[in-house]
A and B are shown apart, each in its own frame.
Chain A
Amino acid sequence: MNAHRVPPEEVSRVQRWFQAVITHPDGVQAGADSDAAKRLMHLPPGQLEKVITRSRALSAAERVAIYANAYHTRLLECLGEVYPMLKRTLGEEAFDGFAFGYLQEYPSRSYTLNELGRHFPRYLQETRPSPGPDESDSALADSAGEEPAFAQDWPDFFIDLARLEWAIYEVFDGPGVEGKPLLVAGQLLCISPHRWAQARLHPASCLQLLSARFPVNDYYTAMRRAKDDKPVPIPSLCESFVALTRRDYIVRRYNLSRIEFELLHAIKEGQTIGEAVERAAMTGNAEVEQLAADLKLWFRNWTAEGFFQSVEMRQ
């Protein structure tokens, strides 16, 4: 359907100008003086009142500033709600610094605020200080000020934590399995051992897997349990693996070993159990006997936690 009519030039010009002014990172005057705004309306400095009326109590600039302040405040608040643990970890000022920079690079282009934080982990990655003495060009370095406040590998921790929080956010309101049948352990037990390797498991639509450089899931748990928002020490570098799923509309988190992660990852990619086990065994260097025992336990636990919806047997 092409129902778009060309808007009156007056409407388009005023709106583009107003948006350029209220979203400028350096405030209303800088916004009005920006090239983007001047291309639309060339106002001499301090002449906003040629476009915006004043009220009895406020100048045009003061009135426009209400929108400019609200724009950033509202969206920073929203990002803080999507990344609550990252905000607590960094502190409000540092978090808002990153979020402010993010909004300049990735302004909202969606009708829904649910999309606002999608690219935040990517932004943190893109602006991560490169290891070494020259860290001046990145948002993460800037926030630390002259004296670096963060250990050199902490930016990776913040990025990992942001990735975990975004995954939680997606699982919470994304597709789920509530009201749908899930695979139960009994169905797996019915499969004869010689056909087991050919079975293909269909994971729950809400199952997400995450690998991280830091134990972010344990950190997240510790933060949730911390009384009065007491700070939790940032953990040392140590790779970790997490499964996220949702049951009864609540997000559930599970720590995984590397071999469990690889196994589930292969299953999610559509590999048969045989192929997935083979792949996982190669990465995990597991003893065959131990792996056989572990597999039994893992699949029992995973089915109990609703990781899978069904099993498909190829004829």
Chain B
Amino acid sequence: MITKRLGHPHLGLGLGLRTVHFDYILENQPNVDWFEVISENFMDSQGRPRYVLERIAERYPVVMHGVSLSIGSADPLNFEYLDKLKGLARDIKPLWISDHVCWTGVAGRNTHDLLPMPLTELSLKHVVERIRTVQDFLERPLVLENPSTYVGFTGSTLSEWEFIARMAEEVNCGLLLDVNNVYVSSVNHDFDPEEFIRSVPHERVVQFHLAGHTNRQTHLIDTHDNHVIDPVWKLYGLAHRLTGGVSTLLEWDARIPPFPVLHAEVLKAKQHMGEELADTRMAAANGEQATAAMGVSEGDLAVPHPLHHIAAEVL
């Protein structure tokens, strides 16, 4: 018998913490349920990013989300990285630590992309062994996310949902179900996104991700630069019903709108939980107005999962 969500709390509706919103959050203390932070942006910081994170972690529940664990890589695990990850967790006390089912580089290099795993038995065994090592080191279960992918390997013998489900069962880790990634990958790989959502072990889902993407007609790119589209909301509604509801987070990483627009976007999730709350509709409506004012549109630069690089503040 598995404890639902690995025993983690349902944090409500949260947002990815981004540099452009630092001042707004510190000044306004918006009524957001929780924040997710990119671990790598803070683990080495001795300046303002770390200072801001500590202030935010005092006030809000925080979750650490990484992009460089490279759990599927053929390279040795980077224990210097893991040590810093653990140190950051010790300091800011996140509810959980997540990363992606992917590899980011090999032969000592880092592409800073979330690259797809060949979905084979050997590949699964490799990932499982590494997750065990990382979980032992961090002394906590990992929460792992399904990335958006754009290629499949002819040698793959498992579906992505089989791979993830077996992985999670074998290592007793949590899952971060990125509903937008399921949708993006379903278009790119011609599968039924509902089958994916129905097939993952729902009791292991600790968190959902929501985001916008770019439609290139022949494929979708996970750009995190726009509103969540209706088919993704529909999948979210399904995932919500199947899991009974878990912490939900909106990612918006390119052409980032003002904070209230983001907040309004994630609050729309309530409409897909069967709770038609008036205040949600109001917030969503305000968000639409703000979006129209800033002229958010389809992206020219379609870069998958844009990275969150922190620019220096200089006088």
Enumerate chain A interface residues (CB-CB to B < 8 A). 1, 3-5, 7-8, 10-12, 14-16, 18-19, 22-23, 49-53, 55-58, 60, 62-64, 66-67, 70-71, 73-75, 77-78, 81-82, 84, 107-114, 116, 168-169, 171-176, 178, 224, 246, 249-253
Q: CB-CB < 8 A to A52: which residues of B?
A: 151-154
A249 touches B313 (CB 8 A): yes
Please report the C-alpha to C-alpha distance between residue A141 and residue B81 in the assembled complex, in whole angstroms.
39
* Known contacts A15-B106, A19-B107; is-contact A70 B47 (Cβ 8 Å): no
- 10 closest A-B pairs by CB: A249-B48, A172-B312, A12-B74, A4-B76, A57-B218, A111-B68, A7-B74, A8-B122, A173-B47, A53-B152
- Chain B residues 117 to 153 lying within 8 A of chain A, measured CB to CB, are 117-118, 120, 122-123, 125-126, 129, 133, 137, 150-153
Please report the C-alpha to C-alpha distance between residue A5 and residue B76 in the assembled complex, in whole angstroms.
8
Please report the C-alpha to C-alpha distance between residue A174 and residue B47 in the assembled complex, in whole angstroms.
6
B162 within 8 A of A: no
A74 touches B153 (CB 8 A): no
Taking the closest CB of chain B, its distance from the CB of A42, in whole angstroms, is 15
Partner of A112 from B40, B72, B109, B126 at Cβ < 8 Å: B40
A60 touches B314 (CB 8 A): no
- Identify whether the interface residues of B are mostly helix, strand, loop, or mixed: loop
B279 within 8 A of A: no
Q: CB-CB < 8 A to B61: which residues of A?
A: none
Q: CB-CB < 8 A to A62: which residues of B?
A: 218
Please report the C-alpha to C-alpha distance between residue A82 and residue B79 in the assembled complex, in whole angstroms.
27
A15 touches B153 (CB 8 A): no
Taking the closest CB of chain A, its distance from the CB of B69, in whole angstroms, is 8
Q: CB-CB < 8 A to A4: which residues of B?
A: 76-77
Q: CB-CB < 8 A to A112: which residues of B?
A: 40, 43-44, 68
Please report the C-alpha to C-alpha distance between residue A17 and residue B51 in the assembled complex, in whole angstroms.
41
Taking the closest CB of chain A, its distance from the CB of B240, in whole angstroms, is 29
* Known contacts A8-B125, A84-B311; is-contact A172 B112 (Cβ 8 Å): no
B219 touches A50 (CB 8 A): no
Please report the C-alpha to C-alpha distance between residue A1 and residue B57 in the assembled complex, in whole angstroms.
31
Q: CB-CB < 8 A to B31: which residues of A?
A: none
Please report the C-alpha to C-alpha distance between residue A84 and residue B314 in the assembled complex, in whole angstroms.
12
B112 touches A74 (CB 8 A): yes
Name the residue on A nearest B109 (C-beta).
A107
Chosen A-B contacts, 8 in total, with CB atoms closer than 8 Å, are A55-B190, A57-B219, A63-B219, A66-B219, A81-B311, A172-B312, A224-B314, A246-B47
Taking the closest CB of chain A, its distance from the CB of B197, in whole angstroms, is 20
Name the residue on B nearest A13 (C-beta).
B74
Q: CB-CB < 8 A to A109: which residues of B?
A: 108-110
Please report the C-alpha to C-alpha distance between residue A251 and residue B312 in the assembled complex, in whole angstroms.
8
Q: CB-CB < 8 A to B158: which residues of A?
A: none
Q: CB-CB < 8 A to A176: which residues of B?
A: 46-47
Taking the closest CB of chain B, its distance from the CB of A222, in whole angstroms, is 14
Q: CB-CB < 8 A to A78: which residues of B?
A: 112, 307, 309
A172 touches B314 (CB 8 A): yes
A49 touches B111 (CB 8 A): no
Please report the C-alpha to C-alpha distance between residue A290 and residue B307 in the assembled complex, in whole angstroms.
53
